[in-house]
Amino acid sequence: MNTPLPQSRVRVQRIAEAAVERARLTVVPRVRARTPRVPFVIMVSALLVAGVVGLLMFNTTMQQNSFTSTDLEKQAGQLAAEREGLQMELDALNAPQRIAQRATELGMVQGPAPAFIDLRQGKVTGGAATPADGADSFSIEPPAVQKPKELSPEPTIEYVDPPARERRNRDTARSSADEQSATGRNETETNRRGDRSNR
Amino acid sequence: MFRLRIGFIVIAMVLSFFGARLIQLQAIDPKSYAAMAKRDGVITADLPADRGAIVDRSGVELAASVDGMMVIGDPELARDDAPQIARILAERLDLDYFSTLERLRKSGTRYQYLARRVPATKAEAVLKELDELDYKGITLERDPMRNYPSDDIAANLIGFLGEDEPLAGMERTFDTQLAGTDGKATYEVGAGYRIPLGESTTVKPKNGETLQLTIDRDVQFYTQRALAAAVTKARADSGTAVVLDTKTGQTLALADVPTFNANKPPLETKRNAKNLGARSLSEPYEPGSVEKALTFAALIDAGKITPRTRIVVPSEIKRAGAAPIGDHWDHDKIKLTAAGVLAKSSNIGTVIAARRLPSETLYDYLTSFGLGQRTNIGVRGESAGVVPDGATWSEGTHDTIAFGQGLSVNAMQMAAAVNTLANGGVYVDPSLVMGTATTDSGQKVGTSQAGTHRVVSEDAARQTAEMMELVTAEGEAGSAAAVPNYRVAGKTGTAQRVGKDCRCYDGTFTVSFGGFAPADDPRFTVYVVLQNPRNGMGGGGNAGPVFKQVMTYLLGKYGVKPTGTTPSTLPIEW
């Protein structure tokens, strides 16, 4: 608590009592400004809702991503398998055996010793160039596999006459059966006979 | 007040029920429930490592892993439509219709293998087709497969995989490198999809490494077909051809006939066991006259003869207690130079010349040429062959070994020995694997392991090459091996074979031809052997043409120009 000195008080009184009187400090009455609760509650609930919804959406997105990634992985696997399949086809087409066979079909033969063309002089060097006459040709077929008799038995063929009653509808049923239509599927008998005639 | 008390009692009862259940779940047998939950949601998937490919020198795949599927049938579901399903499967997947049908109708089972190792695309396509037609009971499972794009090309070297493990060849020898290590993934799934943030651990698979060979697929193909045609034509038991790059000793082709299709390997039986491996290394034989070239190189290197040394060749050499040594043609006393003896392949002349060299010295030369020791190029079951210790040779042994009988070699050894003459007298270890690879017995093989050592002087090698050039001259034994425009050095061989049972020469022959071109600047060494030809022709007639075909192809493919120098003019007679 500050107690003003008596003499100063006297001096102040003397100089400007009225001013002092005006400047005297008084305790300000407490103003209780009641902040409205509603915005706060709204904000908190909004945060909460946003959080929950956000989390939910986050989860959903991740789930969705997981679906997508699984699907994409599956697709990648399929494409990889497809690529491998195509590569295998390409390899088969590239195989020296096939190329040699194609060449033979086209009437080509194994060549004689090569001759060289010197482009600067425009001359054939390294001996005379002789046309290929196939004198050195040999079979490019792979040697046949020799199997013991037990592994390659003679085929047993049995001819069985179809029952006379069913013979009439066989020709009509066969065309549809071959196309594997829904009705052909149930006609097991006809379908199988159709098979045998193809084989 | 009273109602409140009733309420409390009810709540307490309910809670104690919960408590009891809690104790039941957690205290009594808690693990089975955890396991049940796990079984429901957690999946452990194997992540198989991709098996490394085997490729040729330019990276062409000789063996590659492909995503495969096994096709499985459930007869319970498929029985009714069995004929239709079997028909589609038989047509699309090349299966046997009747056995497939039988499997689809089998009772008392729900799991029948219908096909294994089917390319994934093919299997998926068939499954889709069956689905569209509404046939049930066919499922697919992963089943990695191995594809050999060129079927039988180098099959003897590469080998093949069985159902679960490599069974032969390099697939087996280098399995550790090729196989890699499988990985594993454990994760939770819901409705077939992976649960994000769920429990998950992954051990990544370590894929196998590629194995690169020094083989050139195209040369291998050509060599194999040329050899097979010759074996068929000569009605021989088997044949072998080796193609070496002279300077590096790298094997461009190593062909064995009979061979097999690696995509459909035959069952191993006693009869075909040798066909599955590489005879070129596993089957030793007596080399015969090709070996004379080594003897003459040794004689020249030791300063005992020159190509022009005059030798009087009698009609036969009598031996105490053994059949006399004769030549393959009848003659009276003739006068041949050393070069003539080699060109005409006279046993008698060779014996007379070789007697100037002590047994130990000749033995040292032959072992230095690599005979009697494994080449260790990374092929299974290599036989070292036999060169008897020089200290134990009798005069008879010395005589026969000088012209290539009484010792045994494998084809790769002999090719490497001939290659030494091509390479200016320096032996290069032959190799089959690029870089370095470790075999299943822990041995390091490959081009980076190949060493060299000098066997004979450069001069001796050049002079021997000039003598060998006479062999392919017009009218001589090896004229069928001559390549027009090129200088070719070579040597024919027709050796008696030791019978399987009698431990004696049984009247059958091993015919061979080894040589190199161009003779004065060699690039390739080719060595061809046919076992037991039945057409009465020798090394020049049977193996010579194969040598010519393969050498012509090599010179053309690699663009090797003729050297254009004057051919050897050494005299044959005096």
With an 8 Å Cβ cutoff, is A100 touching chain B?
yes
Q: Which of B61, B83, B257 sits opposite A143 (nearest CB)?
A: B257
pLDDT in tens, B288-317: 999 999 999 999 999 999 999 999 999 888
Q: Which of A140, A143, A191 sits opposite B258 (nearest CB)?
A: A143
DSSP-derived 3-state class of residue B257: strand
Mean pLDDT calculated for residue range B217-227: 94
Q: Do residue B484 and residue A130 have CB atoms under 8 angstroms apart?
A: yes
Q: Which of B150, B485, B552 sits opposite A127 (nearest CB)?
A: B485
What mean pLDDT is reported for chain B? 88
With an 8 Å Cβ cutoff, is B427 touching chain A?
no
The CA angle B31-B37-B41, to the nearest 5 degrees, is 145
Q: Which residues of chain B make contact with A192, given a CB cutoff of 8 A?
A: 83
Query: In B, residues 162-221, which contact A (CB 8 Å cutoff)?
Result: 192-197, 217-218, 221
Number of helices (H), then strands (E), belonging to chain B: the values are 20, 24
Mean pLDDT calculated for residue range B128-132: 89
Share of chain B above pLDDT 70, in %: 97
- Give the chain A residue whose CA is nearest to the CA of B64: A88
B244 and B87 Cβ atoms separated by less than 8 Å:
no
* B278 has a pLDDT exceeding 60: yes
Query: In B, residues 17-56, which contact A (CB 8 Å cutoff)?
Result: none
Phi, psi of B79 (to 5 degrees): -55, -45
Please give the Cα distance from B141 to B144 (Å, whole number). Answer: 10
Residue in B246, B239, B245 with CA at minimum distance from that of residue B224: B239
Please give the Cα distance from A118 to A125 (Å, whole number). Answer: 7
Report the residue of A66, A151, A183 to disrupt the B interface, i.e. the one with the largest count of B CBs within 10 Å.
Answer: A66
Cα four-point dihedral sign A92, A95, A99, A102: negative
DSSP-derived 3-state class of residue A163: coil
Report the residue of A138, A157, A189 to disrupt the B interface, i.e. the one with the largest count of B CBs within 10 Å.
Answer: A138
Q: Highest-confidence range of A60-69, B316-325, B413-422, by mean pLDDT?
A: B413-422
* A3 has a pLDDT exceeding 80: no
DSSP 8-state code for residue B180: -
With an 8 Å Cβ cutoff, is A41 touching chain B?
no
- Within 8 A by CB and 6+ apart from B362, the residues are B295, B298, B354, B390, B398, B401, B402
In the prediction, which pLDDT does B361 show? Answer: 93
Strand order of the β-sheet with B489-498 is B251-257, B238-245, B524-531, B505-517, B489-498
Q: Do residue A185 and residue B221 have CB atoms under 8 angstroms apart?
A: no
pLDDT in tens, B14-45: 999 999 988 888 887 777 777 777 666 777 77
* A198 has a pLDDT exceeding 70: no
Please give the Cα distance from B229 to A158 (Å, whole number). Answer: 39
Q: Do residue B84 and residue A180 have CB atoms under 8 angstroms apart?
A: yes
Mean pLDDT calculated for residue range B333-337: 91
With an 8 Å Cβ cutoff, is A183 touching chain B?
no
- At B149, the pLDDT band (50, 70, 90 cuts) reads confident
Share of chain B above pLDDT 90, in %: 45
Mean pLDDT calculated for residue range B136-163: 85
Cα four-point dihedral sign B362, B365, B369, B371: positive
Q: Which of A165-169, B210-214, B445-449 has the lowest mean pLDDT?
A: A165-169
Report the residue of B81, B547, B561 to disrupt the A interface, i.e. the one with the largest count of A CBs within 10 Å.
Answer: B561
In the prediction, which pLDDT does B48 show? Answer: 76
B523 and B240 Cβ atoms separated by less than 8 Å:
no
Q: Do residue A113 and residue B486 have CB atoms under 8 angstroms apart?
A: yes
With an 8 Å Cβ cutoff, is B555 touching chain A?
yes
- At B191, the pLDDT band (50, 70, 90 cuts) reads low
Burial class (CB in 10 A: 0-12, 13-18, 19+), B66: buried
Q: Which residues of chain B make contact with A116, given a CB cutoff of 8 A?
A: 559, 561
In the prediction, which pLDDT does A176 show? Answer: 42
In the prediction, which pLDDT does A6 show? Answer: 53
- At A152, the pLDDT band (50, 70, 90 cuts) reads low
Mean pLDDT calculated for residue range A13-33: 75
With an 8 Å Cβ cutoff, is B270 touching chain A?
no
In the prediction, which pLDDT does A107 show? Answer: 87
Q: Do residue A114 and residue B84 have CB atoms under 8 angstroms apart?
A: no
Q: Which residues of chain B make contact with A146, given a CB cutoff of 8 A?
A: 258
**Distance from CA of residue B553 to its chain's centroid?**
21
Please give the Cα distance from B369 to B21 (Å, whole number). Answer: 87
Q: Which residue has the tokens 């392919």?
A: B472
Task: Catalogue the long-range contacts made by B199-202 (C-beta closer than 8 Å, 24 or more residues apart).
Answer: B199/B42, B202/B47
**Distance from CA of residue B165 to its chain's centroid?**
18
- Whole-prediction pTM value? 0.78
Mean pLDDT calculated for residue range B520-547: 91
Closest-CA distance, A115 to chain B, in angstroms, reads: 8
Mark whether B289 is an active-site residue. yes
Phi, psi of B157 (to 5 degrees): -85, -45
In the prediction, which pLDDT does A179 show? Answer: 42
B450 and B378 Cβ atoms separated by less than 8 Å:
no
Closest-CA distance, A151 to chain B, in angstroms, reads: 11
In the prediction, which pLDDT does A9 show? Answer: 53
In the prediction, which pLDDT does A195 show? Answer: 40
Q: Which of A81, A115, A145 sits opposite B121 (nearest CB)?
A: A81
The residue with greater pLDDT, A95 or A188, is: A95
**Distance from CA of residue A98 to its chain's centroid?**
33
Mean pLDDT calculated for residue range B191-214: 80
Q: Which of A8-22, B221-235, B449-463 has the lowest mean pLDDT?
A: A8-22
- At A191, the pLDDT band (50, 70, 90 cuts) reads very low
The residue with greater pLDDT, B198 or A148, is: B198
> How distant, in Å, are the alpha carbons of B61, B220, B305, B311, B483 from that of B562?
32, 23, 30, 33, 10
- Give the chain B residue whose CA is nearest to the CA of A136: B549
* B103 has a pLDDT exceeding 70: yes
- Pairing type for strands B524-531 and B238-245 reads antiparallel
Torsion-angle region of B27 (φ positive above 0: left; ψ -120 to 50: alpha; else: beta): alpha
Please give the Cα distance from B315 to B422 (Å, whole number). Answer: 32
Residue in B516, B513, B524, B514 with CA at minimum distance from that of residue B558: B524
Q: Which residues of chain B make contact with A180, given a CB cutoff of 8 A?
A: 84, 133
Q: Which residues of chain B make contact with A66, given a CB cutoff of 8 A?
A: 193-196
Q: Which of A97, A112, A180 sits opposite B151 (nearest CB)?
A: A97
Count Cβ–Cβ pairs < 8 Å, chain A vs chain B.
Answer: 134
Mean pLDDT calculated for residue range A65-73: 88
Q: Of B238, B280, B282, B289, which one is the catalytic site residue?
A: B289
In the prediction, which pLDDT does A170 show? Answer: 46
pLDDT in tens, A103-131: 989 988 888 888 888 888 888 877 777 88
Q: Which of A66, A116, A138 sits opposite B549 (nearest CB)?
A: A138
In the prediction, which pLDDT does A188 show? Answer: 39
* B49 has a pLDDT exceeding 70: yes
Q: Do residue A113 and residue B197 have CB atoms under 8 angstroms apart?
A: no
Q: Highest-confidence range of A115-119, A138-142, B406-410, by mean pLDDT?
A: B406-410
Report the residue of B55, B95, B128, B150 to disrupt the A interface, i.e. the one with the largest count of A CBs within 10 Å.
Answer: B150
